[in-house]
Amino acid sequence: MRLEFTEEEQSFREEVRSFLRAQLSPEISGKVLNGYELGREDHVLWQRRLHERGWGGMGWPKEFGGPGWNSVQQYIFEEESALAGGPRLIPFGTKMVAPVIMAFGSPAQQQRYLPKISSGEDWWCQGYSEPGAGSDLASLKTRATRDGDSYIVNGQKTWNTLGQYADWIFCLTRTDASAKQQSGITFLLIDMKSPGITVRPITLLDGGHEVNEIWFENVRVPVENRIGEENHGWTYAKFLLGHERTNIAGIGIAKRELARLKRIAASERQRGRPLIDDPVFAAQIAQVEVDLWALEITNLRVLSAERRSAAAGPEASILKIKGTEIHQSISELLMRAVGPYALPFRREAMEAGWQFDPSREPPGPRYASTLAASYFNQRKLSIFGGTNEIQKNIISKMIVGL
């Protein structure tokens, strides 16, 4: 038993670091490190940089144009990228639909879709949740009716992340209403430019536009855009959700934000002394730090097991729950660290270019201006990707066997 990575893994880490030093622009990393919003262009540019290095298909085998990394290498990349201020990879293309296309798509589909995912040319989004089908995803109602060489799709999807940027959406649709819930579902790839699609923004509590409702009204989808067989979509959907969980704990991001919390707590003053000297506040930072340490080692144990077997098992639920709790704790401590200066709430402060009126002493530090919005936004973590309550059901059923 040993904690250290192998020498090969260490030299891979160095390779990743030198790539990040060379290719990650200070403009983009500055936004990430300071909690400002990234635009579509930032993400696309970053995906292009990865692609040029041959890393666009993160986690893909070489035969599909990926770098052929194992899960430890992916973990190392994501950790280093997060620490350096690399953008969070938008998972819908590379990590979600691509593995489904590789495993269940036809060679024609693989040739058509995968290269443009890797290059960042196509932005993908997901059509899973519906207003009546959240935790109970299999109760989805969006209908796809066969009409010659097409399906006609009608219905409504929701909690669609960044669909306003998307070229393509992968959708779970119901093709057989008479079958039992899981058996009548078909997995379709739909061009977002298709007539009959309406994207309606949902404003979240932090004022941001991150998710949408998507309406389908008689949207015609060629049968060739179907993945695998009709009515077998649930199998592919579950496969996809299994892949959604690689690196679900977000250890690198948590480490980066914890370091930021310590910096801010050192610069905030309370009774003329640094806040980080306050034993109560310091103990709370220490608490999240030890929780993160435990989670990191748990994550490494899962990875180590994966080196021997295949995809992540139900233990990913442990990583999801603890990871989200840690991210939420850090965001809450960050907000509380700035005290009353977490109260001002200016949406424009989320943009990197925004600044206080330079003619006056600023009302509170610049870093304070995004922290409450970030705390509010991070509440989503315990809700999306399967609520933490659902994850606990998975643990008690799949791991414990209750």
Partner 1 sequence: MNFEFSDEQRQLHEVVERYLNEQYGFERYQSIKRSSAGWDPAVWRALADLGVLAITVPVAQGGLGFGPLETLSMMGDCGRSLLLEPVLSSAVIATAALRAFVGEAPTGKAAAGEAAAGEAAAGELLTAMAAGEKIAVLAHFESDARFESQWVTTRARRAGESYRLDGHKGVVMHAGAADTLLVSARTAGEAGDADGVSLFLVPRAAPGVVLDTYPTVDGQRAADVYLQAVEVPASSRLGPEGKSLAAVEAALDIGLAALCADAVGVMQALVDATVDYVRVRQQFGQPIGRFQALQHRIADMLIHLEAARSMSYLAALRCTAEDVGERRRALSAAKAVIGQSGRFVGQQAVQLHGGMGMTDELRVSHWFKRLTAAQLMFGDSDTHLQRVAALTRGEKSFGR
CA distance linking residue 71 with residue 306, whole number of Å = 7
Q: Binding of partner 1 at residue 110 (CB under 8 A)?
A: no
Written as one string, the DSSP assignment of 367-380 is: GGGGHHHHHHHHGG
Among 119, 111, 113, which residue's Cα sits nearest to residue 52? 119
Nearer CB in complex with partner 1: 30/132: 132
CB of 86 to partner 1, least distance (A): 26
Which of 30, 39, 54, 132 is close enough to bind partner 1 by CB under 8 A?
132
Strand partners, 219: 153
CB of 257 to partner 1, least distance (A): 18
CB of 380 to partner 1, least distance (A): 5
Residues across the chain: 402
CA distance linking residue 231 with residue 179, whole number of Å = 9
Find tokens 């404003």 and name the residue.
203
CB of 335 to partner 1, least distance (A): 8
State both tokens at 321. Answer: 């729950």
CB of 92 to partner 1, least distance (A): 17
* 356 within 8 A of 364, measured Cβ to Cβ: no
HSE-up of residue 293 (Cα within 13 Å, Cβ side): 7
The H or E element spanning position 171 is strand 168-174
Which of 220, 270, 300, 313 is close enough to bind partner 1 by CB under 8 A?
270
**Per-residue binding letters, 210-239, with partner 1 (x by CB under 8 A):** -x----------------------------
Q: Binding of partner 1 at residue 179 (CB under 8 A)?
A: no
Classify 167 as helix, strand or coil: coil
**Per-residue binding letters, 320-359, with partner 1 (x by CB under 8 A):** ---------------xx--xxxxxxxx---------xx--
The region of 86-94, 111-119, 205-213, 243-251 touching partner 1 under the rule CB under 8 A is 205-213
- In sequence order, the 6+-apart residues with CB closer than 8 A to the CB of 283 are none
The region of 14-22, 59-67, 76-84, 379-387 touching partner 1 under the rule CB under 8 A is 379-387
The bridge status of strand 168-174 relative to strand 124-127 is: parallel
Positions touching partner 1 (CB under 8 A) are: 129, 132, 134-136, 139, 158-159, 202-205, 207, 211, 268-272, 278, 280-281, 284, 335-336, 339-346, 356-357, 360-361, 363-364, 372, 375-376, 379-380, 382-384, 387-389, 392
